[in-house]
Amino acid sequence: MSPAKDNEKVPARRRVPQQVRSRDRVERILEVAAELVVDKGVEGVTTRAIAAGADLPVASLYQYFADKEAVLLALVERDIAEMDAQIEVDLASLTVLSVRSMVETTMRAFVKVYHRRPSFVVIWFRGRTNVAVQEFVRAHNRRMARDLFQIARSAGMVVEGSDGLYAELAVEVADRVFQLAFETSLTGDPHLIDEGIALVTAYLETHATPAGIAGVPVR
């Protein structure tokens, strides 16, 4: 993944060595920030601490990131992209689409990435301060809800007259169930996750066709 994002100042580069060094540094910064988040919480991510950890002058942070918040946002963007990829792969392996299988597959995909990316868990579930992060994840949730809803509708799983709002609420509720499950442990309470899947499934099945509940084979 390119480190270039809107919220990062990525200097145009001319020579390969520079580029490489630049990328290294950006990655080092993100890495250190991720560690700090996990070790000391979002509040522990200070420009001083990042700079010290990455062995850089504080001023150099501002070569790569507009400000401190942009570092957290970059972290979140990276992890969200990973979630999208994981969901896509996992959904593609389904042979039967049902409300239950879609919910379970999607939610388990999230859990996989949460395990790989504990820093996301901390930033998102424990420290919702950063407005940019909040808006980014919220927008992503909406987009994801829409996409999943489209898939379900194309497969004839959704009852007539049902709009995407149910999907959005379901995604947000799932998000909060995860928050609950990961609030005290970085691995997430498995029982809570199972129950959460059941809960979201139960809710969405109230808006599903019989086929959506029974399952339709993927063509």
List residues near a second copy by CB under 8 A: 43, 126-129, 134, 165-166, 169, 172-173, 176-177, 179-180, 183, 191-192, 195-196, 198-199, 202-203, 206
Among 57, 129, 138, 185, binds DNA (CB under 7 A): 57
Residue 177's closest CA among 117, 104, 119, 96? Answer: 104
Confirm if 215 and 96 have CB atoms less than 8 A apart.
yes
Q: b or e along 160-183 (b: 16 or more beta carbons within 10 Å of the residue's beta carbon)?
A: eebebebbbebbeebbebbebbbe
Alpha-carbon distance of 79 to 63, in angstroms, equals 22
- Position 1 contacts DNA (CB under 7 A): no
Among 5, 38, 53, 56, binds DNA (CB under 7 A): 56
Which does residue 202 bind out of DNA, a second copy, none, counting CB within 5 to 8 angstroms by kind? a second copy
Q: Based on CB atoms, which residue is closest to a second copy, 155 or 167?
A: 167
The residues that bridge with 65 in the sheet, in sequence order, are 8
Confirm if 110 and 85 have CB atoms less than 8 A apart.
no
Tell the smallest beta-carbon distance from residue 88 to a second copy (Å). 26
Q: Based on CB atoms, which residue is closest to DNA, 60 or 187?
A: 60
How many other β-carbons are positioned within 10 Å of the β-carbon of residue 59?
Answer: 9
**CA distances, 195 to each of 10, 112, 149 (Å):** 44, 17, 22
- Give the x/- contact pattern for DNA in 6-45, rule: CB under 7 A: -----xxxxx--xx-xx--x-------------------x
**Applying CB under 7 A, which residues contact DNA?**
11-15, 18-19, 21-22, 25, 45-49, 56-63, 67-69
